[in-house]
């Protein structure tokens, strides 16, 4: 999502859209994984609100900063796991 936001803010809508679709694809793979059954509620809701923010009417009043903060924890954890 960081790339999506960065490209959007650089006024590069094509690149932003490609980054967004890659992120959605990763979310869809995660949602489809049977190991994530207990987390489907949050995953599906996050996907819904992301689509609303980038392509909808932003009914949930999201911001770039909100999404960056939300995903920062996931990035931090991924780096921690990668460093082991």
Domain ranges of the chain: 2-82
Q: Quote the tokens at residue 79.
A: 């780096």
The answer, yes or no, to whether residue 68 has pLDDT greater than 80, is yes
Treating both helix axes as pointing N-terminal to C-terminal, what angle do 13-32 and 40-55 enclose, rounded to 10 degrees? 160
Distance CA 84, CA 82 (A): 6
> In the predicted model, is pLDDT for residue 84 greater than 70?
no
Mean pLDDT value of segment 42-70 = 96
What are the tens digits of pLDDT across the range 10-33?
A: 999 999 999 999 999 999 999 999
> 11: helix, coil or strand?
coil
9 or 38, greater pLDDT: 9
């Amino acid at each position: 999502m960081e790339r999506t936001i960065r490209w959007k803010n650089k006024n590069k809508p094509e690149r932003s859209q490609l980054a967004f679709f890659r992120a959605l694809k990763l979310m869809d793979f995660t949602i489809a994984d049977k190991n994530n059954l207990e987390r489907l509620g949050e995953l599906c809701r996050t996907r819904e609100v992301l689509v609303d923010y980038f392509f909808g009417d932003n009914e949930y009043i999201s911001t770039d900063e909100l999404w960056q903060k939300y995903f920062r924890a996931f990035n931090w954890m991924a780096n921690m796991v990668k460093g082991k």
